[in-house]
Structure 1
């Protein structure tokens, strides 16, 4: 499972001009399920996301988590994180989970996030979305978690 975390001052996602998810300070989580990913992989990734210390403490050091600062999570599915560009100029997405399994794992991740954290918003799986954000820092962290 791959994710790109962006520390944001605010973020929102729109589908067909309507806002379907929005947060203030927190993390925009772009999420991709890959072949072989499991619920356990999603659980480990979520635990890391919630505890990752990338928010400033009183001394200005990255020492606080999204939970520590009471920030939100905006989780957006993005299968393009599985892109393989090693073979040419057109990306291959063959490493991404099949659509049904990708949807199941995305829904699972969002449900687990909502059970563990008070402010969780989500995009719409497989929709053409427009994501708006104010990246804070900027801080952008790529993450990968596998079954091994």
Structure 2
């Protein structure tokens, strides 16, 4: 699993002209899933994400986690994070998991992340063409890949 995690002042996702989900302060997470991913990857990511100390404390130092701030999380599935760009200029998405693997893992990730957070996470719609609007706060952007756990 590969993620791009952004600390945001606000974020929303729209499908067509309809706003599907919106959050105020918290995290926007773009999630890419490959065929080899599993529940172990989900558990590791949920622990790392909820423990990330990227929110300011009373001294303006990034020293607090999403659990400490009570912020919200918006998770968007994004198969393009699994792009291979080694040959030519047109990315290949062969590493991205197909729907039968990716949808259950995406739903499990959102559920487990919500359980760790203590409230449901907001989501996009798997496979839909979405428009994501955000205000990155910092900017703070962190990339994680479960294949690089060390």
C-alpha displacement of 1:146 = 3.0
Match in the other structure for 2:18: 18
Distance 1:18 1:67 in 2: 29
Distance 1:66 1:115 in 2: 13
RMSD over aligned Cα, in angstroms?
1.3
Q: Do 1:37 and 1:146's aligned partners in 2 also have CA atoms closer than 8 Å?
A: no
Moved over 3 A (4+): none
The 3-state SS of whatever aligns with 1:138 is strand
Distance 2:41 2:113 in 1: 13
Structure 1: segments with no counterpart, 5+ residues:
none
Aligned length: 148
Report the TM-score when normalising by structure 2.
0.94
Written as runs of structure 1 = structure 2, the 5 A alignment for 1:1-148 is: 1-117=1-117, 118-146=119-147
Instruction: Report Cα offsets for 1:14-33 as digits up to 9, x if no partner.
Output: 11111111110000000011
Instruction: Report Cα offsets for 1:23-62 as digits up to 9, x if no partner.
Output: 1000000001112100111111111111101111111111
Report the TM-score when normalising by structure 1.
0.95
Distance 1:17 1:47 in 2: 34
Moved more, 110-119 or 57-66: 110-119
C-alpha displacement of 1:116 = 2.0
Structure 2: segments with no counterpart, 5+ residues:
none
